[in-house]
């Protein structure tokens, strides 16, 4: 538990150091944005939609490469992430949910659960479909190896001037590594916390009859490339898309379609059953969006 705390704490120290030691400039902000987008894509497209929900298929080599990219989101190993998320869906907003705000509050759902000793191990039985691959089990155990190899890589790239003459090794490391990884962690945590708190303004429940308290949050969806359409996702998590309506922008889904066109992936599950769309007021049915808190059955 102490090691998990040190890793999370050290990341936040690095993020604060980035802002204190190197005031923002356009080159640094550009580096931050690019690095953040890569990491949030890795979380949502790889850890979430592939390993947690098997929403598309990949060959064994591509599967490993995706998992390798996924480690850069800084949220432990792919099998741990998938097992935890599958448990979340199975017991959403009950006492067995690893990170529901309903029973233990906002801070537990947002951050405290990450250092809970009961949540540190990977239940391989929950992800037996992927745990059968030894290379994935190895990467899940040693996820920190590729993650922290980026530390010297970013420093050397910055020192060599790859990011421009105004960025040195230390600013590249902090603005391209620690700060975006910390931002990606907090954005994911916001889905776990306010993504299940309909009493907070700024979201709507397209499917108010769900037993959980999941909420669609457009701003989160924009900042997380589609991950904020959480109520949609809880209604039909098998899909490779979380935005169901035409105006629910889902950049991750578009990227998966592009990768399928290039032959890198296959069987991207983009079809939402018509009955589910109509239930949510999409199509000919009259829209029904509930912004007020919904009663949990």
Q: Sorting pLDDT into bands at 50, 70 and 90, what band is 253? A: very high
Give the pLDDT score at 140: 97
Backbone angles phi, psi at 144, to 5 degrees: -70, -20
Give every CB contact of residue 255 below 8 A, 6+ residues apart in sequence. 41, 45, 225
Q: What is the mean pLDDT of the chain?
A: 92
Does the structure show a pLDDT above 80 at 296?
A: no
Give the pLDDT score at 115: 81
More confident residue, 277 or 2: 277
Does the structure show a pLDDT above 80 at 249?
A: yes
| Separation between Cα atoms, residue 83 and residue 223, nearest integer Å | 25
Residues in the chain: 297
Q: What is the pLDDT of residues 99-120, one digit of tens each?
A: 999 988 998 898 888 888 788 8
| Separation between Cα atoms, residue 186 and residue 291, nearest integer Å | 24
Give me the torsion for CA of 149, 152, 155, 156, rounded to 10°: -110
Q: What is the pLDDT of residues 14-43, one digit of tens each?
A: 999 999 999 999 999 999 999 999 999 999
pTM of the model as a whole: 0.91
Check: CB of residue 102 under 8 Å from CB of residue 213. yes
Give the pLDDT score at 293: 44
Q: Sorting pLDDT into bands at 50, 70 and 90, what band is 2? A: low
Q: Sorting pLDDT into bands at 50, 70 and 90, what band is 283? A: confident
More confident residue, 99 or 286: 99
User: What is the mean predicted confidence (pLDDT) over 45-72?
Assistant: 98
Nearest to 257 by CA among 271, 278, 238, 274: 271
Q: DSSP string covering 13-56, please?
A: HHHHHHHHHS---HHHHHHHHHHHHHHHHIIIIIIIIIIIT--S
Give the pLDDT score at 5: 64
User: What is the mean predicted confidence (pLDDT) over 164-188?
Assistant: 96
Q: pLDDT over 70 for what percent of the chain?
A: 94
Give the pLDDT score at 196: 96
Does the structure show a pLDDT above 70 at 228?
A: yes
Give the pLDDT score at 9: 81
Q: What is the pLDDT of residues 128-149, one digit of tens each?
A: 999 999 999 999 999 999 999 9
Check: CB of residue 96 under 8 Å from CB of residue 209. no
Check: CB of residue 80 under 8 Å from CB of residue 124. no
């Amino acid at each position: 538990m102490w090691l998990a705390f040190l890793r999370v704490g050290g990341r936040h120290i690095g993020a604060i150091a980035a802002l204190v030691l190197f005031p923002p400039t356009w080159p640094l902000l550009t580096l931050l944005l690019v690095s953040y987008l890569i990491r949030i894509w890795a979380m949502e497209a790889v850890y979430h939609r592939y390993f947690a929900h098997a929403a598309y298929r990949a060959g064994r080599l591509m599967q490993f490469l995706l998992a390798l990219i996924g480690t850069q989101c800084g949220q432990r190993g792919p099998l741990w992430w998938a097992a935890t998320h599958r448990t979340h869906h199975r017991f959403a907003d009950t006492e067995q949910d690893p990170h529901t705000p309903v029973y233990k509050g906002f801070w537990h759902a947002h951050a405290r659960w990450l250092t809970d000793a009961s949540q540190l191990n990977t239940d391989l039985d929950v992800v037996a479909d992927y745990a059968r691959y030894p290379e994935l089990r190895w990467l899940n155990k040693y996820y920190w190896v590729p993650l922290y190899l980026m530390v010297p890589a970013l420093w050397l790239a910055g020192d060599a001037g790859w990011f421009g003459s105004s960025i040195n090794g230390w600013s590249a490391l902090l603005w391209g590594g620690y700060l975006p990884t910390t931002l990606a962690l907090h954005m994911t945590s916001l889905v776990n916390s306010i993504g299940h708190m309909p009493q907070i303004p700024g979201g709507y429940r397209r499917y108010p009859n769900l037993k959980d308290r999941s909420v669609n949050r457009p701003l989160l969806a924009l900042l997380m490339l589609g991950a904020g359409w959480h109520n949609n996702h809880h209604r039909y998590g098998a899909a490779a898309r979380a935005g169901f309506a035409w105006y629910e922008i889902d950049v991750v889904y578009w990227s998966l379609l592009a990768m399928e066109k290039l032959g890198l992936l296959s069987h991207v599950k983009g079809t939402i059953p018509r009955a589910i769309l109509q239930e949510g007021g999409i199509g000919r049915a009259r829209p029904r969006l509930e912004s007020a808190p919904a009663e949990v059955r």
